Amino acid sequence: MKTERPVIFSGIQPSGILQIGNYIGALRYFPLLQDDNQCLYCIVDMHAITVRQDPAKLRHNSRSLAALYLACGIDPKKSIVYIQSHVSAHAELAWILNCFTYFGELSRMTQFKDKSAKHADNINAGLFTYPALMASDILLYQAKAVPVGDDQKQHIELTRDVAIRMNNIYGDDLFIVPEPLIHKTGSKVMSLQEPTRKMSKSDADETFVSMLDAPEIVKKKLKRAVTDSLGRVTYDAQNQPGVSNLLTIISSLTNKPMDALVASYEDKGYGALKADAAEAVIETLGPIQAEHARLMNDTAALDAILKGGAERANVLANRTLDEVKRRVGFTAR
Ligand code: TYM
Protein backbone atom coordinates (compact mmCIF):
# COMPACT_ATOMS: atom_id res chain seq x y z
CA MET A 1 0.00 0.00 0.00
CA LYS A 2 1.49 3.34 -0.96
CA THR A 3 0.34 6.58 0.61
CA GLU A 4 2.13 9.86 0.19
CA ARG A 5 2.62 10.71 3.84
CA PRO A 6 3.84 8.39 6.61
CA VAL A 7 0.98 6.58 8.31
CA ILE A 8 0.38 6.87 12.05
CA PHE A 9 -2.05 4.48 13.73
CA SER A 10 -3.30 4.35 17.29
CA GLY A 11 -6.31 3.04 19.14
CA ILE A 12 -7.97 3.29 22.52
CA GLN A 13 -10.45 0.86 24.04
CA PRO A 14 -13.96 2.18 24.72
CA SER A 15 -14.09 0.04 27.84
CA GLY A 16 -15.02 2.93 30.14
CA ILE A 17 -14.40 6.64 30.44
CA LEU A 18 -10.75 7.44 29.77
CA GLN A 19 -8.48 8.40 32.63
CA ILE A 20 -5.85 11.13 32.48
CA GLY A 21 -3.08 8.54 31.95
CA ASN A 22 -4.65 7.71 28.55
CA TYR A 23 -4.53 11.40 27.73
CA ILE A 24 -1.04 12.14 29.06
CA GLY A 25 0.55 8.97 27.67
CA ALA A 26 -1.16 8.83 24.28
CA LEU A 27 -4.19 10.91 23.31
CA ARG A 28 -2.59 14.34 23.71
CA TYR A 29 -0.10 13.49 20.96
CA PHE A 30 -2.72 12.38 18.44
CA PRO A 31 -3.68 15.84 17.12
CA LEU A 32 -0.04 16.97 17.01
CA LEU A 33 0.77 14.34 14.39
CA GLN A 34 -2.06 14.97 11.96
CA ASP A 35 -0.53 17.77 9.86
CA ASP A 36 2.53 15.85 8.73
CA ASN A 37 1.17 12.30 8.60
CA GLN A 38 -1.84 10.31 7.48
CA CYS A 39 -3.23 9.48 10.91
CA LEU A 40 -5.81 6.84 11.74
CA TYR A 41 -7.34 6.97 15.21
CA CYS A 42 -9.46 3.98 15.98
CA ILE A 43 -12.01 3.19 18.68
CA VAL A 44 -11.09 -0.43 19.31
CA ASP A 45 -14.41 -1.93 20.38
CA MET A 46 -13.35 -5.43 19.30
CA HIS A 47 -10.51 -5.29 21.81
CA ALA A 48 -12.91 -4.10 24.50
CA ILE A 49 -15.03 -7.27 24.40
CA THR A 50 -12.10 -9.40 25.56
CA VAL A 51 -13.50 -8.31 28.94
CA ARG A 52 -17.28 -8.61 29.45
CA GLN A 53 -19.06 -5.37 28.43
CA ASP A 54 -22.62 -4.21 28.91
CA PRO A 55 -23.88 -3.76 25.29
CA ALA A 56 -25.64 -0.42 25.85
CA LYS A 57 -22.66 0.98 27.73
CA LEU A 58 -20.23 -0.21 25.08
CA ARG A 59 -22.25 1.53 22.38
CA HIS A 60 -22.37 4.72 24.45
CA ASN A 61 -18.68 4.57 25.34
CA SER A 62 -17.67 4.08 21.71
CA ARG A 63 -19.47 7.26 20.67
CA SER A 64 -18.22 9.07 23.74
CA LEU A 65 -14.64 8.12 22.89
CA ALA A 66 -15.14 9.38 19.33
CA ALA A 67 -16.37 12.68 20.78
CA LEU A 68 -13.36 12.80 23.08
CA TYR A 69 -10.98 12.25 20.17
CA LEU A 70 -12.51 15.21 18.37
CA ALA A 71 -12.70 17.32 21.54
CA CYS A 72 -8.96 16.81 22.03
CA GLY A 73 -8.29 18.33 18.63
CA ILE A 74 -8.37 15.43 16.19
CA ASP A 75 -9.75 16.89 12.99
CA PRO A 76 -11.79 14.38 10.97
CA LYS A 77 -10.88 16.25 7.80
CA LYS A 78 -7.23 15.47 8.43
CA SER A 79 -7.33 12.21 10.35
CA ILE A 80 -9.38 9.08 9.86
CA VAL A 81 -11.51 8.51 12.96
CA TYR A 82 -13.49 5.28 12.99
CA ILE A 83 -14.75 2.30 14.95
CA GLN A 84 -12.76 -0.93 14.61
CA SER A 85 -15.78 -3.21 14.13
CA HIS A 86 -16.87 -1.11 11.13
CA VAL A 87 -13.85 -2.36 9.16
CA SER A 88 -14.05 -6.13 8.86
CA ALA A 89 -10.49 -6.37 7.51
CA HIS A 90 -9.25 -6.04 11.12
CA ALA A 91 -10.78 -9.39 12.04
CA GLU A 92 -9.75 -11.06 8.80
CA LEU A 93 -6.10 -10.07 8.99
CA ALA A 94 -6.07 -10.89 12.72
CA TRP A 95 -6.94 -14.48 11.86
CA ILE A 96 -4.08 -14.74 9.40
CA LEU A 97 -1.65 -13.14 11.88
CA ASN A 98 -2.83 -15.57 14.57
CA CYS A 99 -1.40 -18.31 12.40
CA PHE A 100 2.01 -16.62 12.48
CA THR A 101 2.06 -15.77 16.19
CA TYR A 102 3.36 -18.33 18.65
CA PHE A 103 1.69 -19.55 21.80
CA GLY A 104 4.93 -18.86 23.69
CA GLU A 105 5.01 -15.24 22.52
CA LEU A 106 1.42 -14.62 23.56
CA SER A 107 2.00 -16.33 26.92
CA ARG A 108 4.71 -13.81 27.76
CA MET A 109 2.49 -10.74 27.36
CA THR A 110 2.23 -8.91 30.67
CA GLN A 111 -1.17 -7.43 29.80
CA PHE A 112 -2.51 -10.94 29.30
CA LYS A 113 -1.08 -12.04 32.64
CA ASP A 114 -2.50 -8.98 34.43
CA LYS A 115 -5.93 -9.23 32.83
CA SER A 116 -6.24 -12.96 33.37
CA ALA A 117 -5.43 -12.43 37.04
CA LYS A 118 -8.06 -9.65 37.22
CA HIS A 119 -10.72 -11.66 35.33
CA ALA A 120 -9.95 -15.20 36.47
CA ASP A 121 -13.50 -16.32 35.59
CA ASN A 122 -13.20 -15.21 31.96
CA ILE A 123 -9.77 -16.04 30.55
CA ASN A 124 -11.09 -16.32 27.00
CA ALA A 125 -9.20 -17.03 23.78
CA GLY A 126 -9.72 -13.44 22.60
CA LEU A 127 -7.89 -12.13 25.65
CA PHE A 128 -4.99 -14.42 24.80
CA THR A 129 -4.81 -13.58 21.08
CA TYR A 130 -5.53 -9.86 21.63
CA PRO A 131 -1.99 -8.88 20.47
CA ALA A 132 -2.59 -10.48 17.05
CA LEU A 133 -5.67 -8.27 16.63
CA MET A 134 -3.61 -5.26 17.69
CA ALA A 135 -0.90 -6.23 15.17
CA SER A 136 -3.63 -6.45 12.54
CA ASP A 137 -4.83 -2.90 13.39
CA ILE A 138 -1.36 -1.52 12.85
CA LEU A 139 -0.12 -3.61 9.91
CA LEU A 140 -3.32 -3.22 7.87
CA TYR A 141 -2.51 0.45 7.31
CA GLN A 142 1.26 0.04 6.89
CA ALA A 143 1.75 2.34 9.88
CA LYS A 144 5.23 3.64 10.41
CA ALA A 145 4.71 4.79 13.98
CA VAL A 146 2.28 4.07 16.81
CA PRO A 147 1.87 6.67 19.59
CA VAL A 148 1.18 4.78 22.83
CA GLY A 149 1.96 4.72 26.53
CA ASP A 150 4.65 2.52 27.99
CA ASP A 151 2.33 -0.44 28.72
CA GLN A 152 1.76 -1.08 24.98
CA LYS A 153 5.45 -1.33 24.12
CA GLN A 154 5.50 -5.11 24.42
CA HIS A 155 2.53 -5.46 22.05
CA ILE A 156 4.26 -3.30 19.46
CA GLU A 157 7.41 -5.36 19.77
CA LEU A 158 5.34 -8.46 19.06
CA THR A 159 3.73 -6.68 16.09
CA ARG A 160 7.21 -5.98 14.75
CA ASP A 161 8.29 -9.60 15.23
CA VAL A 162 5.24 -10.93 13.39
CA ALA A 163 5.68 -8.38 10.56
CA ILE A 164 9.34 -9.32 10.14
CA ARG A 165 8.48 -13.03 10.25
CA MET A 166 5.90 -12.68 7.49
CA ASN A 167 8.13 -10.35 5.45
CA ASN A 168 10.85 -13.01 5.57
CA ILE A 169 8.44 -15.59 4.20
CA TYR A 170 6.40 -13.56 1.72
CA GLY A 171 8.59 -10.62 0.70
CA ASP A 172 10.07 -7.61 2.45
CA ASP A 173 7.51 -5.24 1.01
CA LEU A 174 4.53 -7.00 2.56
CA PHE A 175 4.41 -4.98 5.80
CA ILE A 176 6.07 -1.82 7.03
CA VAL A 177 7.64 -2.67 10.39
CA PRO A 178 6.20 -0.10 12.83
CA GLU A 179 7.98 1.81 15.60
CA PRO A 180 6.41 2.68 18.95
CA LEU A 181 6.24 6.41 19.66
CA ILE A 182 6.65 6.66 23.41
CA HIS A 183 7.51 9.93 25.10
CA LYS A 184 9.79 10.09 28.08
CA THR A 185 7.56 12.11 30.38
CA GLY A 186 4.11 10.79 31.14
CA SER A 187 4.28 7.45 29.34
CA LYS A 188 3.35 5.76 32.61
CA VAL A 189 1.07 7.77 34.85
CA MET A 190 0.64 5.99 38.18
CA SER A 191 -2.37 5.24 40.36
CA LEU A 192 -3.23 8.02 42.81
CA GLN A 193 -3.70 5.53 45.64
CA GLU A 194 -0.96 3.02 44.84
CA PRO A 195 1.68 5.04 42.98
CA THR A 196 3.81 1.98 42.23
CA ARG A 197 1.04 0.69 39.90
CA LYS A 198 -0.02 2.33 36.68
CA MET A 199 -3.22 4.32 36.57
CA SER A 200 -5.96 2.24 34.98
CA LYS A 201 -9.59 2.93 34.07
CA SER A 202 -10.57 -0.54 35.25
CA ASP A 203 -9.40 0.11 38.84
CA ALA A 204 -11.37 1.70 41.70
CA ASP A 205 -12.63 5.23 41.05
CA GLU A 206 -10.47 7.04 43.61
CA THR A 207 -7.26 5.71 41.99
CA PHE A 208 -7.64 7.72 38.78
CA VAL A 209 -8.96 11.00 37.43
CA SER A 210 -11.46 10.42 34.65
CA MET A 211 -11.37 12.79 31.69
CA LEU A 212 -14.98 13.67 32.42
CA ASP A 213 -14.61 14.26 36.17
CA ALA A 214 -16.02 17.59 37.39
CA PRO A 215 -13.51 20.08 38.89
CA GLU A 216 -14.59 19.40 42.51
CA ILE A 217 -14.02 15.67 41.99
CA VAL A 218 -10.59 16.30 40.45
CA LYS A 219 -9.64 18.45 43.46
CA LYS A 220 -10.90 15.83 45.91
CA LYS A 221 -9.09 12.94 44.23
CA LEU A 222 -5.79 14.79 43.97
CA LYS A 223 -6.03 16.05 47.54
CA ARG A 224 -6.31 12.44 48.65
CA ALA A 225 -3.48 11.21 46.42
CA VAL A 226 -0.98 9.09 48.32
CA THR A 227 2.40 10.79 48.85
CA ASP A 228 4.94 9.97 51.58
CA SER A 229 6.26 11.29 54.88
CA LEU A 230 9.55 12.69 53.59
CA GLY A 231 8.13 16.19 53.25
CA ARG A 232 10.25 17.31 50.31
CA VAL A 233 9.32 17.73 46.67
CA THR A 234 11.88 15.93 44.54
CA TYR A 235 11.56 13.81 41.42
CA ASP A 236 12.56 10.35 42.59
CA ALA A 237 10.23 7.70 41.18
CA GLN A 238 11.91 4.98 43.23
CA ASN A 239 11.71 6.54 46.69
CA GLN A 240 8.94 9.10 46.19
CA PRO A 241 6.58 7.53 43.64
CA GLY A 242 3.49 9.50 44.67
CA VAL A 243 5.20 12.89 44.65
CA SER A 244 6.99 12.06 41.39
CA ASN A 245 3.70 11.05 39.79
CA LEU A 246 2.11 14.40 40.71
CA LEU A 247 5.16 16.18 39.28
CA THR A 248 4.85 14.15 36.08
CA ILE A 249 1.18 15.08 35.75
CA ILE A 250 1.94 18.80 36.19
CA SER A 251 5.01 18.78 33.95
CA SER A 252 3.18 16.94 31.15
CA LEU A 253 0.11 19.15 31.23
CA THR A 254 1.86 22.51 31.63
CA ASN A 255 4.95 21.70 29.52
CA LYS A 256 7.15 22.94 32.38
CA PRO A 257 10.53 21.20 32.36
CA MET A 258 10.89 18.89 35.36
CA ASP A 259 13.97 20.63 36.84
CA ALA A 260 12.36 24.05 36.86
CA LEU A 261 9.14 22.59 38.21
CA VAL A 262 10.88 20.81 41.10
CA ALA A 263 12.88 23.97 41.90
CA SER A 264 9.64 25.95 42.19
CA TYR A 265 8.65 23.80 45.20
CA GLU A 266 11.78 24.49 47.20
CA ASP A 267 9.89 26.14 50.01
CA LYS A 268 6.45 24.67 49.40
CA GLY A 269 4.81 21.48 50.66
CA TYR A 270 2.66 18.64 49.36
CA GLY A 271 -0.52 20.70 49.77
CA ALA A 272 0.68 23.16 47.12
CA LEU A 273 1.83 20.33 44.87
CA LYS A 274 -1.58 18.65 45.00
CA ALA A 275 -3.42 21.92 44.44
CA ASP A 276 -1.22 22.69 41.43
CA ALA A 277 -1.76 19.20 40.01
CA ALA A 278 -5.53 19.69 40.36
CA GLU A 279 -5.32 23.06 38.67
CA ALA A 280 -3.28 21.71 35.75
CA VAL A 281 -5.77 18.87 35.25
CA ILE A 282 -8.84 21.14 35.53
CA GLU A 283 -7.37 23.70 33.12
CA THR A 284 -6.64 20.97 30.59
CA LEU A 285 -9.92 19.13 30.90
CA GLY A 286 -12.25 22.19 31.01
CA PRO A 287 -12.31 22.98 27.28
CA ILE A 288 -12.18 19.28 26.32
CA GLN A 289 -15.21 18.49 28.49
CA ALA A 290 -17.18 21.41 27.09
CA GLU A 291 -16.50 20.34 23.50
CA HIS A 292 -17.22 16.70 24.37
CA ALA A 293 -20.63 17.67 25.79
CA ARG A 294 -21.41 19.70 22.67
CA LEU A 295 -20.53 16.81 20.37
CA MET A 296 -22.52 14.29 22.41
CA ASN A 297 -25.59 16.47 21.87
CA ASP A 298 -25.42 15.86 18.14
CA THR A 299 -24.91 12.13 17.75
CA ALA A 300 -26.15 12.26 14.13
CA ALA A 301 -23.16 14.44 13.20
CA LEU A 302 -20.85 12.20 15.19
CA ASP A 303 -22.18 9.07 13.49
CA ALA A 304 -21.71 10.70 10.07
CA ILE A 305 -18.06 11.37 10.90
CA LEU A 306 -17.58 7.75 12.01
CA LYS A 307 -19.27 6.47 8.87
CA GLY A 308 -17.00 8.59 6.66
CA GLY A 309 -13.96 7.44 8.65
CA ALA A 310 -14.90 3.78 8.25
CA GLU A 311 -15.32 4.20 4.50
CA ARG A 312 -11.85 5.69 4.14
CA ALA A 313 -10.31 3.12 6.47
CA ASN A 314 -11.96 0.26 4.56
CA VAL A 315 -10.34 1.30 1.31
CA LEU A 316 -6.86 1.45 2.85
CA ALA A 317 -7.29 -1.73 4.90
CA ASN A 318 -8.52 -3.81 1.97
CA ARG A 319 -5.48 -2.96 -0.10
CA THR A 320 -3.21 -4.63 2.45
CA LEU A 321 -5.63 -7.44 3.21
CA ASP A 322 -6.01 -8.38 -0.47
CA GLU A 323 -2.25 -8.46 -0.92
CA VAL A 324 -1.73 -10.58 2.20
CA LYS A 325 -4.41 -13.04 1.08
CA ARG A 326 -2.77 -13.32 -2.31
CA ARG A 327 0.69 -13.90 -0.88
CA VAL A 328 -0.36 -16.54 1.63
CA GLY A 329 -2.03 -18.44 -1.21
CA PHE A 330 -5.76 -17.75 -0.95
CA THR A 331 -7.54 -17.91 -4.30
CA ALA A 332 -9.06 -14.75 -5.77
CA ARG A 333 -12.82 -14.39 -5.49
P1 TYM B 1 -5.79 1.32 26.28
O2 TYM B 1 -7.14 1.54 25.76
O3 TYM B 1 -5.64 0.54 27.55
O4 TYM B 1 -5.06 2.70 26.51
C5 TYM B 1 -5.03 3.71 25.51
C6 TYM B 1 -3.69 4.40 25.50
O7 TYM B 1 -3.41 4.99 26.77
C8 TYM B 1 -2.14 4.56 27.24
N9 TYM B 1 -2.19 4.45 28.70
C10 TYM B 1 -1.38 5.11 29.53
N11 TYM B 1 -0.37 5.97 29.30
C12 TYM B 1 0.26 6.48 30.38
N13 TYM B 1 -0.07 6.16 31.67
C14 TYM B 1 -1.06 5.30 31.93
N15 TYM B 1 -1.38 4.99 33.19
C16 TYM B 1 -1.77 4.74 30.84
N17 TYM B 1 -2.80 3.85 30.75
C18 TYM B 1 -3.04 3.69 29.43
C19 TYM B 1 -1.91 3.21 26.59
O20 TYM B 1 -0.55 2.88 26.54
C21 TYM B 1 -2.52 3.43 25.22
O22 TYM B 1 -1.60 4.04 24.36
N23 TYM B 1 -4.13 -2.33 23.29
C24 TYM B 1 -4.37 -0.92 23.42
C25 TYM B 1 -5.36 -0.41 22.40
C26 TYM B 1 -4.99 -0.75 20.98
C27 TYM B 1 -3.99 -0.13 20.21
C28 TYM B 1 -4.06 -0.77 18.94
C29 TYM B 1 -3.06 0.87 20.46
C30 TYM B 1 -5.59 -1.67 20.21
N31 TYM B 1 -5.04 -1.71 18.97
C32 TYM B 1 -3.18 -0.43 17.93
C33 TYM B 1 -2.20 1.22 19.42
C34 TYM B 1 -2.26 0.58 18.17
C35 TYM B 1 -4.93 -0.64 24.79
O36 TYM B 1 -5.45 -1.49 25.45
O37 TYM B 1 -4.85 0.68 25.15
Averages of pLDDT over each 10 residues, the chain, 333 residues: 81 96 98 98 98 97 98 98 98 98 97 93 96 98 98 98 98 97 96 97 94 98 97 96 98 97 96 98 98 97 98 98 98 91
pLDDT value of position 80: 98
What CATH architecture does domain 7-181+299-328 belong to?
3-Layer(aba) Sandwich (3.40)
Q: Is 2 a catalytic residue?
A: no
Q: What is the pLDDT of residue 98?
A: 98
Contact 8, 38 (CB under 8 A): yes
Instruction: Please report the pLDDT score of residue 187 as a whole number.
Output: 98
Q: Which fold has domain 205-292?
A: Tyrosyl-Transfer RNA Synthetase (1.10.240)
> In this structure, what DSSP letter does residue 310 have?
H
* 11 C-alpha to ligand 1 centroid (Å): 7
Atom number of ligand 1 nearest to Cα 149: 20
- CB-ligand 1 contact for 50 (6 Å cutoff): no
Q: Where in the chain is the domain with CATH 3.40.50.620?
A: 7-181+299-328
Provide the terminal-to-terminal Cα distance of the chain, rounded to the nearest Å: 20
Which mutation among 12, 20, 210 tests ligand 1's pocket best, with the greatest number of atoms within 8 A of CB? 12
In the chain, residues under CATH classification 1.10.240.10 are 205-292
Q: Which of 83, 64, 56 is nearest to 17 (CA)?
A: 64
The region that residue 171 occupies, defined by phi over 0 for left and psi between -120 and 50 for alpha, beta otherwise, is left
- Alpha helix ranges (H) inside 72-152: 89-98, 103-107, 110-118, 125-140
Based on the residue annotation, tell me whether 325 is a catalytic residue of this protein: no
Catalytic residue among 144, 198, 219, 274: 198
Q: Model confidence over 186-231: pLDDT tens digits?
A: 999 999 999 999 999 989 999 999 999 999 999 999 999 999 999 9
